[in-house]
Amino acid sequence: MEVINSIKFTMPSLSVNESAARAVVSSFLIQTDPTVEELSDIRTAVSEAVTNAVVHAYRGTSGTIELTVKLLKDREIYIRVKDRGCGIPDISKAMEPLFTTAPEEERSGLGFSVMQSFMDKLSVRSAAGKGTTVTMRKRLSYHGD
């Protein structure tokens, strides 16, 4: 993985930081001059991953969420959202569209579907009691040069 630039942003698992995470990603991506659609896709995917950590990983408790954004060669964006929360017992089930453990909170169960369809690659690693790491990649188009 040839890294051209990267940032790491650590935040407490407060819901108000969902927008902070999006702002961090947007600021970092300015250097790549993404299209409106690419920027919107990545911001949405990051919002989903961070929200999952706030809502599920640290349910009833609090902890730290770590967001890493990297610009790789050939205009590929790498994003990692890592928590040290409760972990996901069944990742395949969690990734099923519309599956949610929090319907009473009006969670739609579409977080992973959004990440999957708005990014090129998605990987989820999780261990019960240890936390979850979501890694996503998306290659940006070449335009205007």
Q: At what angle do helices 36-52 and 111-118 cross, to 10 degrees?
A: 150
In three-state secondary structure terms, 110 is coil
- Using alpha carbons, select from 141, 84, 90, 140 the residue that is nearest to residue 112: 90
Map residue 122 onto helix, strand or coil: strand
Q: State both tokens at 33.
A: 């001059």
Could you confirm whether 48 is annotated as catalytic? yes
Q: For residue 107, state whether it binds another protein (rule: CB under 8 A).
A: yes
Given 113, 135, 137, 139, the residue binding another protein (CB under 8 A) = 113
Under the criterion CB under 8 A, does residue 79 sit at the interface with another protein? no
Exactly one of 24, 29, 55, 94 binds another protein (CB under 8 A); that residue is 55
The binding site for another protein (CB under 8 A) comprises: 15-16, 18-19, 22, 36-37, 40-41, 43-44, 47-48, 51, 54-55, 105-108, 110-111, 113-114, 117-118
Could you list the active site residues?
48, 52, 107
